[in-house]
Amino acid sequence: MRTQVAIIGAGPAGLLLSQLLHDRGIDTVVLEARGRDYCERRQRAGMLEQATVDVLRAAGAADRLDREGLVHHGIHLRFAGTDRHIDFPSRTGGRSVTVYGQTEIVKDLIAKRVAEGARLYFDAPVTSIEGIDGDAPRVRFVRDGVEEVLDCELIAGCDGFHGVSRAAIPADVLRTYERVHPFAWLGILAEVAPSTDDLIYAYSERGFALHSMRSSEVSRLYLQVAPDADLADWPDERIWAELRERLALPGWTLDEGPISERSITPMRSFVAEPMSFGRLFLAGDAAHIVPPTGAKGLNLAMADVRVLGDAVGEWYERGSRGGLDAYSDTCLRRVWRAEHFSYWMTTLLHLDPGAAEFEQRCQLAQLAYVADSEAAMDSLAENYVGYTWAD
């Protein structure tokens, strides 16, 4: 089997890259370890920056997003019985964010790729990556129990944090930076109308809680739990009781409903540098992970792919490797800004079980400052909608 660009992974990054390159007449093969149903049902992110909406529109994959996406103009910070709404448009020159589930993005991109006859192979795990330091790289994968080889010119490692592509970068070249946070998120989907207009980020002495949503009928909520928490210890009643306590505000009630999906996600900050080596280019979670508090994970993946799509297009269309050579540095400046913002939001809002009284009082003082200072709220807003560099 042969193609121009081998794409490992059919998550948002791999699927969007396949679409962007197809639209430039560049041939790709996408190899995905899991089945289509698993990829489409895997509950993850839900908050899109405008740049992510724009690139999905450019890819011709945003018709349903434009119909069903919920535009949001701010968030609520809730703590110590108070609630501060932080408006985005007035603080960012008119910018907002959109709520639309990652599952829906994946469904929309798969449907479009399949309709266009893409070589998109599910249940086809990649087992090894070879020749990335030469001009004839290849990928070995298994399909229907048979090992196959895909010869190509470039490889895009879009296989997430647990994929194989990052390890193909030589150990003496790869540098990794990591912080594992002392808590996790228990996330639920509930068949109940959201009890809020905009998202509520709540700090409480019992831990963090987030009220998000997926539609006017479906709520998405999260609870900070211990890093080794077990779903078996969290029956519906306990989940709702904790959410009620942590989101409490005088005069406000949390409407409950049947829980249709639940999962526990560990919280880590991680960056691998460089994001490329020879003919291999990492994009999305294969290269970096952020705690979801800043709603950046999916948006970083889409931003990497926007840069990589242009760089690959430039290479094929003009024979220029400039974009490919600059890819890693171009992405890492944005990645590290999002890493810091996600880390800042996470440490601002979560109760660190190991923190001393002094740190906890400083945390409350910082929350009070952010909720009172126009400058602090401007800074939060410009990072939440997606920081854009001056140059």
Task: Report, as residue numbers or ranges, the catalytic residues.
Answer: 72, 201, 292, 296, 384
For the CB of residue 175, give the shortest distance to ligand PHB in the complex, in Å: 27
Nearest CB to ligand PHB, comparing residues 44 and 138 = 44
Whole-number Å distance between alpha carbons of 385 and 98: 10
Q: Which residues bind ligand FAS (CB under 6 A)?
A: 8-14, 31-34, 39, 44-45, 47, 102, 125-126, 158-160, 163-164, 265, 284-285, 292, 295-298, 301
For the CB of residue 206, give the shortest distance to ligand FAS in the complex, in Å: 20
Binding partner of residue 13 among ligand FAS, ligand PHB, none, CB under 5 to 8 Å per kind? ligand FAS
Residue whose pair of structure tokens reads 């810091």 in the numeric block: 340
Site for ligand PHB in 23-82 (CB under 6 A): 45-47
Rule CB under 6 A: say whether 295 interacts with ligand PHB: yes
Site for ligand PHB in 159-218 (CB under 6 A): 199, 212
Nearest CB to ligand PHB, comparing residues 260 and 320 = 260
Nearest CB to ligand FAS, comparing residues 131 and 266 = 266
For the CB of residue 193, give the shortest distance to ligand FAS in the complex, in Å: 20
Binding partner of residue 125 among ligand PHB, ligand FAS, none, CB under 5 to 8 Å per kind? ligand FAS
Judge whether 350 and 14 are in contact, CB under 8 Å: no
Site string for ligand PHB, 219-258 (x = CB under 6 A): -x--------------------------------------
Of residues 98, 165, 293, 328, which one binds ligand PHB by CB under 6 A?
293
Per residue, the 3-state secondary structure of the chain, as one string, reads CECCEEEECCCHHHHHHHHHHHCCCCCEEEECCCCHHHHHHCCCCCEEEHHHHHHHHHCCCCHHHHHHCEEECEEEEEECCEEEEEECHHHHCCCCEEECCHHHHHHHHHHHHHHCCCEEECCCCEEEEECCCCCCCEEEEEECCEEEEEECCEEEECCCCCCCCHHHCCCCCCEEEEEEEEEEEEEEEECCCCCCCCEEEECCCCCCEEEEECCCCCEEEEEEECCCCCHHHCCHHHHHHHHHHHHCCCCCCCCCCCEEEEEEEEEEEEEEECCEECCEEECHHHCEECCHHHCCHHHHHHHHHHHHHHHHHHHHHHCCCHHHHHHHHHHHHHHHHHHHHHHHHHHHHCCCCCCCHHHHHHHHHHHHHHCCCHHHHHHHHHHHCCCCCCC
Binding partner of residue 313 among ligand PHB, ligand FAS, none, CB under 5 to 8 Å per kind? none
Nearest CB to ligand FAS, comparing residues 179 and 368 = 179
Whole-number Å distance between alpha carbons of 246 and 207: 7
Binding partner of residue 220 among ligand FAS, ligand PHB, none, CB under 5 to 8 Å per kind? ligand PHB
Whole-number Å distance between alpha carbons of 368 and 13: 37
Binding partner of residue 293 among ligand FAS, ligand PHB, none, CB under 5 to 8 Å per kind? ligand PHB
For the CB of residue 42, give the shortest distance to ligand FAS in the complex, in Å: 7
For the CB of residue 318, give the shortest distance to ligand FAS in the complex, in Å: 27
For the CB of residue 123, give the shortest distance to ligand PHB in the complex, in Å: 27
Nearest CB to ligand FAS, comparing residues 86 and 301 = 301
Residues that bind ligand PHB (CB under 6 A): 45-47, 199, 212, 220, 292-293, 295
